[in-house]
Structure 1
C-alpha cells in the first residue's frame, strides 16, 4: 500500500462492484463481428497501414487470413513481427497509427478498419499446440538483457530464436515492465501480461533473474566482460520533479506509483481513495491515473495541464475516455504551490493561469486554487542516473537524459545496445519498444555471427 495516502478513506463500493468497473475498455470481437470487419479491408498493395505500424506487421495479410478463417496463420503473421502482439493490440494508439492511415478512414467510408481489434481477435483465438517459433541450432553465445519490459522481452525472444542463450536481469518481482505495472487496469485485464510472458518464454533459452537492478546489484562493466553482448532496456524509472514548494508533502506522489499498486491489487476496495484529486500531466499516464481514480469512486477529478488541449500528448481518443468518466480537463494552468492543512497534508494546489506570448508560455498574473485530498504527478519520467554510474556506463553517449543509439540500436560502447524508453529513438510506445528489441536482436545476431566467421 502507498504510505503517502494511508490517511485517505477506502472506496465506498465493494470489491466486486469495483472489479466490474475495470473490465475491458474495448470488448473483444466475436467471430461474426471479426468476419464482417475483416471483409471491409481492401488488402491494399503497399498498404499505408503497414507503413504506419512501428512494428511493421503485414496487416492486410493477417486480415485476409482472418477472412479465410485461418486464425493460426493470422496470429503467426502478427507474432513474427511483434511477439507482444496481444498486448499491443490492446494498448497501442491505433487511432493515430495504422487506423488513421487506413484508406477507409475518410468521410465517405465513415470509419477505418478496426485493425487493433482484429489483431487482438487473431492472437487471442489462435490455437497453438506448441510455440509457433522454433530455436535455431545453439550458437554458444550468451547475451545479457537488462530489463524485462516490452523491449527486453522482444529482444530476448528474437535472440533465443536465433539460437543464443539469454539472461534477463529484472529489478522487480514480475517481468512485463509497463505492461505489468504501468498500464491502466482496464486496458490489460485478467493478468494478461503474465500469460503473454509465459507464451513468449516457451521458445526456450531465456532465463529471468529477478531482484537485479543495474547500478545496485549489477554494473555495465561486469556484464560487458562476462557476456557476448548487452542490451539495455532499462526504461525511465525516475519521476520528474515540479520544483515547487511542499512537493514532498504527504498526499502528493507519482501517478506511476499508484497505478503500480492498483494493477497489483487483488481487492480494489482496499486502495486509498482521493475523493477530490488533481492529476498533473498531459499524456496517457495522466489520463490512466485520472480515469482509474474516477472509476474507484472519486467525485471530483481534475486533470490539469499548463498548455492547451491541442498540445496534450494524450490522443483525442484518450481525452474522450477521460471525459466519458467525468474527468475535468483544465488547461492553461501551471502548478505554483502545494497547499497543506494543519497536519502538513495536501489540501489543494495553487495554479498560475498561462498563455502563449510570442510563442513562449507565460503567466497571465492570475492564480486560482483547487481543493484536493491527493495530487498525482504524471509529468514524465527520466533516467535514474544511479543505473549508469559505473566507469563504463558513464562513457555511454547521452542525448539529454537518454542513451544515444544509432539505427541499429548500437550505443557508443561496442557490444552494448539499448532500446525502448531509455533511448532517444521514436515514440514512448509499447509497440515502439517491441520494435527496438527486435531490431537490436537482429543487429546483435548479425554482429556475433560476423565475429564467428572472422575467427
Structure 2
C-alpha cells in the first residue's frame, strides 16, 4: 500500500534507519553456550515429564535438555528433529508459555519454568550452523506423493515421506515456500531470513521438489493429482479472511492484517513500508498482536487492539498480550466494531461495548469512537475456495478420502499453531507411508 490522496495519514519513512534496525532486531536473543548449560541445569529431568505431554509434537524434552547439559547440543537437535523437523522455527514462534513451559514442574513450584523454547533454539541453531542434517533417505520406494502447500504441515509431511524413500512434489501457491513461517509471523521473531534458511536445510534430505506459484483449483486440480500420484496431502492453510461485517470496511486504509504482515515480512527496506499515525487492529489472536506491535515498531504513534470479548478469551497468550502492552499498544476488551467512519478513507472506527453471556455476545447501547487512519482486520481466517469433492465445515476441511490426507490449519479440529501443523503433517506422512507400504 502506498501513500495516496485517499490515505493521507499512511506514510513511509517515519523513523531513522538505525531505529528501524533496532526495533526489528531479534526479539529474544539466543542463549550462548554458558547460558544454555545454566538453563539446562534447572531441569529436573522428570521421568513422567508433563512437558512432553504438553508438546503437540511430543519431543522428548528432558532428553534433549540433558544432552545440552552434557555438552552435546548436536545430539539434542537430533532428538528435537526426530519429532519436529521445524524445531528451529517452532522454538522462535511456539507459545511455549502456554504449552511445555506452563506444564513444567519448575513453573508449578517456583513460577519460573525451564526455558525450554530457548534451549530448543540453542540446540537447533548450533546444529544448523554446522550444516548438520542427521537424516538419510531410505531406498527409493517407487511411490510418488503430491503435497499441496509448502507451509509447516506440508514441509513436515514432505520431509518424513522423503525419509521413507518416497518421491515428493510440493505445490505452493506463493512465490516462496514456508507458509506461515515465511509470510505470517512478526519479523522480529525470526530474523536474518531464518524461515528460508530452515526450508533450505530441510530439503537436504533429498527427494523433494518444490514448485512455487502453483495454486490448487487454478493451475492443478485435486482430481488430476489423485490420478497422477499414489497419494495426496493437502496442507493449504487458510488464505481467506473473515469480513468485519461493519459499514465502511471497504474504505481506503482498511486492510487484512495477514496481508500487512506478509508485506512487511517480504520488504527489504522497512523505511519504505507505509504505516498510519493512528492504527486500530480488530481481533484477539496472534495475528492481531503481531500487526499491532509491528505497526508501533514502524513508527505509528497510537496503536490500539480492540477485541470483542475479555482478556481471558483472547487466543493470543497472556505473554504476547503483555508484550504488546510493553511495546506501547493499548488493548481494549469487550468491544465490537459497528462502523468505519470516513470520507473515502478511514478516519475513525465506532465501537459498541459488548456483553458475553450464556446466550452469546450482545452489543450494548453504549458506543465509543477511536481515531484511525489505518485499520487492520485480524478476525480469523477461512478456506479460500474449498477443494473439489471434500466436505467443509466451519470454514475448514472436515474430512478426506480416496488417497487424500489433510493437515494443518485447513483441517478441522486442533489449534492453529505452527507446532500443531508440523505434528499433523508428520503423522499424515506416517499414515501415507503405511498405506503405500501395505502395512
Aligned-partner Cα distance in 2 for 1:71–1:323: 35
Tell me if 1:351 matches 2:325.
no
Correspondence for 1:90: 92
1:207-256 CA deviation, whole Å, 9 max, x = no partner?
A: 00111001111110000000000000000000100112121111101001
Correspondence for 1:241: 243
1:384-441 CA deviation, whole Å, 9 max, x = no partner?
A: 12x52xxxx2x31223221124xxxxx2x22100100001131100000000110000
Tell me if 1:419 matches 2:407.
yes
Aligned-partner Cα distance in 1 for 2:135–2:115: 27
Aligned-partner Cα distance in 1 for 2:25–2:249: 34
Q: Deviation of residue 319 (structure 1)?
A: 0.4
Aligned-partner Cα distance in 1 for 2:160–2:111: 39
Correspondence for 1:329: 331
Work out whether residues 3 and 12 of structure 2, in 8 Å CA contact, stay in contact via their aligned partners in 1. no
Aligned-partner Cα distance in 2 for 1:217–1:37: 49
Q: Deviation of residue 336 (structure 1)?
A: 0.5
- Written as runs of structure 1 = structure 2, the 5 A alignment for 1:36-115 is 36-106=38-108, 108-115=109-116
Q: Deviation of residue 14 (structure 1)?
A: 2.6
Aligned-partner Cα distance in 2 for 1:3–1:433: 37
- Written as runs of structure 1 = structure 2, the 5 A alignment for 1:223-234 is 223-234=225-236
The SS at the match of 1:29 is coil
Correspondence for 2:35: 33
Aligned-partner Cα distance in 2 for 1:358–1:161: 50
Structure 1 residue runs without a partner (length 5+): 406-410
Correspondence for 1:315: 317
Tell me if 1:447 matches 2:428.
no
Aligned-partner Cα distance in 2 for 1:203–1:351: 52
Aligned-partner Cα distance in 2 for 1:244–1:440: 39
Correspondence for 2:420: 432
- Written as runs of structure 1 = structure 2, the 5 A alignment for 1:245-260 is 245-260=247-262
- Written as runs of structure 1 = structure 2, the 5 A alignment for 1:249-328 is 249-328=251-330
Correspondence for 2:118: 117
Correspondence for 2:205: 203
Q: Deviation of residue 150 (structure 1)?
A: 0.3
Correspondence for 2:373: 373
Aligned-partner Cα distance in 2 for 1:397–1:364: 37
Correspondence for 1:399: 393
Relative to the length of structure 1, the TM-score reads 0.93
Q: Deviation of residue 358 (structure 1)?
A: 4.5
1:261-302 CA deviation, whole Å, 9 max, x = no partner?
A: 111111111011111010000001100000000111111101
Q: Deviation of residue 24 (structure 1)?
A: 1.3
Work out whether residues 237 and 382 of structure 1, in 8 Å CA contact, stay in contact via their aligned partners in 2. yes
Structure 2 residue runs without a partner (length 5+): none
Tell me the number of residue pairs that the alignment of Structure 1 and Structure 2 aligns.
436
Work out whether residues 2 and 11 of structure 2, in 8 Å CA contact, stay in contact via their aligned partners in 1. no
- Written as runs of structure 1 = structure 2, the 5 A alignment for 1:146-161 is 146-161=148-163
Q: Which residue among 110, 121, 137 is the counterpart of 1:135? A: 137
Work out whether residues 339 and 349 of structure 2, in 8 Å CA contact, stay in contact via their aligned partners in 1. yes
The SS at the match of 1:368 is strand
Aligned-partner Cα distance in 1 for 2:61–2:357: 44
Aligned-partner Cα distance in 2 for 1:158–1:404: 24
Q: Deviation of residue 359 (structure 1)?
A: 4.3
Aligned-partner Cα distance in 2 for 1:417–1:15: 47
Correspondence for 1:382: 382
Q: Deviation of residue 128 (structure 1)?
A: 4.6
1:134-177 CA deviation, whole Å, 9 max, x = no partner?
A: 00000011100000000000000000000000000001111000
Work out whether residues 139 and 163 of structure 1, in 8 Å CA contact, stay in contact via their aligned partners in 2. yes
